[in-house]
Amino acid sequence: MPIYEYECRECDHPFELLVLGATTAACPACEATDVEKLVSLSSSSSDSSRRRNISLARKYGGKDEIEKAHAEHDARHKHSH
């Protein structure tokens, strides 16, 4: 889904918006439609404003990987005995 990041030109409030069809971006803080579209969340992962999302993804992804590794280890261990 196309989630875009915007910054309000009126109050400098940054926000993210899921854009569906002809959705007009409006600032959730002051309702101004004079907003600047920033890069898409799906096409960039290095912006500092997105560090929190990335760290959450890493946290959960890492947990999954660790659990998967444990499961695989257990399976191998049981097989070897």
User: What is the contact surface with Zn ion in residues (CB under 5 A)?
Assistant: 8, 10-11, 13, 27, 29-30, 32
Whole-number minimum distance, CB 14 to Zn ion, in Å? 10
Pick the closer one to Zn ion by CB: 30 or 54.
30
Whole-number minimum distance, CB 30 to Zn ion, in Å? 3
Whole-number minimum distance, CB 77 to Zn ion, in Å? 57
Return the exposure string of 3-25: e unless at least 16 CB atoms fall within 10 Å of the residue's CB, then b.
ebbbebeeeeeeeebeeeeeeeb
Under 8 Å CB-to-CB from 33, ≥6 apart: which residues?
Answer: 24, 25, 26, 27
